[in-house]
């Protein structure tokens, strides 16, 4: 069962010859979630063989161009591909107004339903709840309203011990009951505990996306215990003042969040064009939080 992240862009606002604006694709059991969508995201999707039709949900952290300008061309592409499946887009206001105006301006008539869900508020909120995953938004601290997203896989069914099926002569209903964690109660009153015929399911995986943000005290609590924490590291400690001024983070800030949150692993991104290599940023964060990696475009990270 897949729970993995593919990185499509690692640059901050100024793209470089080998770094594109922010875009992540999270694969949860073959449902794809697109997270941020900077310019050129659809080209990166082509390059890394992300299947366009598998994406039904797009999560936008904020309305700065390097996180959003890929949305308009992607909508055009879906329209040209004769998409019929509804598309859900989660973003802070005024995303819906902007998109509506854009479609009017360019005389684009979508052949599918685009549902724009406005993300808002000053606390954590559940924005999506489906069979496999729950998604939460939480506020970040940037120059304009900005949100992070937390993806939590739902507890999977318990794993059947195959031999027990014949041993107890279990029916399909009984198997389903045990896999969902219920004890089997037979007509004669006999009880077969689910722990007798099934094993603990895989621990559900989780991923948190902390887009553009300054360091703030409450952040680690939002992403507490997450398996993989993506956190922007636009700058290194050498540009601490600039980070504060522009409401961005340094690699050290990101590591501090990972450490306090007790994250499993930290992935850095959104690198300023001034850093040709990201090795120093990675090193800086590792000195505080060893399980750190600087994100690389096209790389896929297995989670949990």
Cβ closer to its own copies: 65 or 225?
65
Closest contact distance (angstroms) between CB of 104 and its own copies is 10
Residues that bind its own copies (CB under 8 A): 13-17, 20, 39-40, 42-43, 46-47, 49, 63, 65-66, 69-70, 72-73, 76-77, 80-81, 94, 98, 101, 105-107, 144
d(CA 40, CA 19): 11
Cβ closer to its own copies: 65 or 193?
65
Verify whether residue 66 is a known catalytic residue: yes
Cβ closer to its own copies: 106 or 195?
106
Cβ closer to its own copies: 46 or 186?
46
Q: Which residue has the tokens 């900005």?
A: 146
SS3 content of the chain, % helix, strand, coil (to 5): 30, 30, 40
Closest contact distance (angstroms) between CB of 58 and its own copies is 16
Closest contact distance (angstroms) between CB of 69 and its own copies is 5
Q: In what order do the strands lie in the sheet with 125-129?
A: 125-129, 133-139, 147-153, 206-210, 228-232, 265-269, 292-294
Question: Are residues 26 and 5 in contact, defined by beta-carbon separation less than 8 angstroms?
Answer: yes
Q: Which residue has the tokens 């310019």?
A: 39
**Using CB atoms within 10 A of its CB, is residue 163 exposed (0-12), middle (13-18) or buried (19+)?**
exposed
Closest contact distance (angstroms) between CB of 211 and its own copies is 17
Closest contact distance (angstroms) between CB of 65 and its own copies is 5
Cβ closer to its own copies: 24 or 256?
24
Question: Are residues 249 and 281 in contact, defined by beta-carbon separation less than 8 angstroms?
Answer: no
Kindly write down the DSSP assignment for every residue of 85-144, as one continuous string: S-EEEEEETTHHHHHHHHHHHTT---SS-EEEEEE--SS-EEEEE-SSEEEEEEE--SSS
Q: DSSP code of 208?
A: E
Kindly write down the DSSP assignment for every residue of 209-231, as one continuous string: EE-S----TTHHHHTTT-SEEEE
Structure tokens at 171: 């029916």
Catalytic residue among 18, 36, 66, 107: 66
Structure tokens at 119: 């993300």
Closest contact distance (angstroms) between CB of 15 and its own copies is 5
- Residues known to be catalytic: 66
């Amino acid at each position: 069962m897949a729970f993995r992240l593919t990185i499509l862009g690692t640059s901050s606002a100024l793209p470089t010859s080998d770094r594109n604006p922010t875009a992540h694709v999270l694969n949860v059991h073959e449902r794809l979630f697109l997270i941020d969508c900077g310019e050129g995201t659809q080209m990166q999707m082509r390059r890394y063989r992300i299947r366009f039709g598998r994406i039904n949900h797009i999560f936008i952290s904020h309305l700065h161009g390097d996180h959003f300008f890929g949305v308009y061309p992607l909508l055009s592409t879906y329209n040209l591909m004769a998409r019929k499946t509804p598309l859900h887009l989660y973003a802070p206001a005024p995303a819906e107004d902007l998109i509506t105006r854009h479609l009017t301006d360019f005389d684009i008539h979508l052949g599918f339903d685009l549902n724009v869900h406005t993300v808002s508020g000053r606390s954590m909120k559940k924005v999506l709840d489906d069979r496999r995953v729950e998604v939460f938004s939480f506020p970040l601290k940037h120059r304009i309203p900005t949100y992070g997203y937390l993806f939590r896989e739902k507890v999977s069914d318990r794993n059947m011990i195959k031999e027990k099926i014949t041993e107890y002569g279990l029916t399909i209903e009984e198997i389903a009951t045990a896999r969902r964690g219920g004890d089997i109660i037979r007509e004669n009153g006999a009880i077969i505990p689910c722990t007798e015929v099934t094993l603990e399911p895989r621990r559900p995986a989780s991923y948190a996306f902390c887009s553009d943000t300054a360091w703030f005290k409450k952040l680690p609590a939002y992403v507490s215990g997450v398996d993989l924490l993506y956190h922007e590291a636009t700058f290194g400690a050498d540009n601490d003042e600039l980070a504060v001024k522009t409401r961005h983070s340094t690699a050290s800030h990101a590591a501090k969040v990972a450490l306090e949150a007790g994250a499993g692993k930290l992935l850095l991104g959104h690198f300023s064009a001034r850093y040709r290599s990201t090795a120093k940023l990675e090193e800086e964060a590792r000195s505080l939080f060893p399980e750190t990696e600087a994100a690389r475009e096209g790389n896929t990270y297995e989670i949990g």
